[in-house]
Amino acid sequence: MSTFNVLISREELAKKTKELAQRISEDYRGKELLLVGVLKGGFMFLADLARELTIDVSLDFISCSSYGNATVSSGVVRILKDIDYDITGKHVLLVEDLIDTGLTLTYLKDLFTAKGCASVKVCTILDKPSRRKVEMIADYEGIVIPDAFVVGYGLDYGEKYRNLPDVCSIVSE
Ligand code: 5GP
């Protein structure tokens, strides 16, 4: 059986998620907000964030891959599943699990801006600023973590461990 070291507990994740949701609810009150979850890693944070919001929102998902099955970014972003609806004139908030090199969100921000949204902002629960290859500052930033490979709370290693409720490092597989 695999063993893990908990780096960010579920309680810390929940507290930060609530804080971010409060700010987002205040900032977007009276506006038409579309939350776009970045699959697959962002699914758990999106579900928790959406339930803490106190405004009406729409939800959609985009799936992209920059890592394949590797533990380092290749820098190439591929769209595996695009959003379903026309987003012209909508306020879009991209909801991510983790910003690492910043390449994925830079690509997605440019893509959504080109689609004619009223605004495109970024919310992430985890951030590794020391690993940036391009400048990317989240509008709603969660918890800053050091440069270590993590799993859990949506994040995988070879498609496993996404369901762990805490953010962990792998001790042994
Ligand atoms: P970026 O384009 O910012 O380098 O890539 C961000 C994406 O890479 C994250 O959404 C996540 O899916 C993946 N990623 C980055 N760091 C890690 C990590 O430590 N663990 C896992 N499982 N995925 C990571």
The residue whose C-alpha atom lies closest to atom 11 belonging to ligand 1 is: 98
pLDDT for res 73 = 58
Alpha helices in the chain (DSSP H): 10-28, 43-52, 103-114
Centre of ligand 1 to C-alpha 58, Å, is 25
Average pLDDT over residues 5-25: 98
Contact 126, 97 (CB under 8 A): yes
pLDDT in tens, 60-119: 999 987 655 555 555 678 899 999 888 888 999 999 999 999 999 999 999 999 988 999
Contact residues of ligand 1, CB 6 A cut-off: 41, 66-67, 73, 96-104, 149-151, 155-157
Burial of 163 (0-12, 13-18, 19+ CB in 10 A): exposed
Is 0.85 surpassed by the pTM of this model?
Answer: yes
Distance CA 29, CA 151 (A): 33
Peptide bond into 15 cis (omega under 30): no
Annotated catalytic residue 100 = yes
Work out which ligand 1 atom sits closest to the CA atom of 73.
4
- Taking residue 162's Cβ as centre, other Cβ atoms within 10 Å add up to 17
Q: pLDDT for 35-64, tens place per residue?
A: 999 999 999 999 999 999 999 999 999 998
Active-site residue, from 100, 127, 147, 156: 100
